[in-house]
Amino acid sequence: MTAAPGPEPSSEAGFSMVEVVITMAILSVVLGAVTTLFVRGTNSEADLNLRFQAQQDARNSIDLIRRDGHRACNVMSASGSSVSLAYWDPTLATPACSSTATITWCTRASGTKYALYRVLSASCGASGGTKYADNITSASGNVFTFTAAVGTNGAVANQHTLAVLKLDLIVNVRSNALQSYHLQDDVALRNTVRT
């Protein structure tokens, strides 16, 4: 006994249009999700790199301010947004602390934030100098607090303290308060004149 012959196989074997459309729809959803993950990862990495660079610039700036402060012999002027440090001038007939050899650190507005500059003169001015840090969100760019030296003429006899420059930088690349990086340091101006 022979089996009844079935339908003859089609000579046009392949996928139907409905199967191709469904496969493409599923593939589009999967590739869209994978692409979104890659884009978010890339954006997060870029954001992390920007924040790290801004924080590193601020740390390097504080280190350089500390070195400048340790070498300074006097503070010519100080405000919340700038400090001018005087140095010994060896070109004078009698080397002395001179107002002609000065370095000024200051903040300048940079959009809605501030940038930290080092200027080789007695004042900051509106331009010039080298920018060392950016994205500073400290109130009105006020990052410096100067406390003068106290000597025997102070309130307590035989009390001697050096002049101190306090630094307070808040760095934030984005406007998110949770991503703020707060740096503080006290720089003893060890070459300043004691009273």
pLDDT tens readout for residues 42-86? 998 998 899 999 999 999 999 999 999 988 888 888 898 999 999
In a domain, 134, yes or no: yes
The DSSP code sequence of 120-164 is SSSS--SS-SEEEEEEE-SGGG--EEEE--B-TTSSSTT--B-EE
- Look up the domain containing 175 and give its range: 19-189
Q: Which residue has the higher pLDDT, 184 or 125?
A: 184
Confidence of residue 137 (pLDDT cuts 50, 70, 90): confident
Domain membership of residue 2 (yes or no) is no
Cβ partners under 8 Å of residue 106, min gap 6: 81, 82, 83, 116, 117, 119, 124, 129
Please give the pLDDT value at position 122.
83
Determine, yes or no, domain membership for 129.
yes
The mean pLDDT of 90-97, rounded to a whole number, is 77
Residue 193's pLDDT band (cuts 50, 70, 90): low
Q: What's the total number of domains in the chain?
A: 1
- Give domain status of residue 170, yes or no: yes
* b/e map 158-189, b = 16+ CB within 10 Å: eeeeebbbebbbbbbbeeeeeeebebeeebeb
Q: What are the pLDDT digits (tens) for 2-20?
A: 666 666 666 566 888 999 9
Residue 85 falls inside a structural domain: yes
pLDDT, mean over the chain = 84
In a domain, 43, yes or no: yes
Residue 9 lies in a domain: no
Pick 51 or 156 by higher pLDDT. Answer: 51
Average pLDDT on 149-169 reads 71
Q: Is residue 12 part of a domain?
A: no
143-159: average pLDDT: 69
Q: Would you say residue 153 has pLDDT above 70?
A: no
Q: Select, from the ranges 55-64, 144-153, 185-194, the one with the highest average predicted confidence (pLDDT).
A: 55-64
User: What pTM does this model have?
Assistant: 0.74
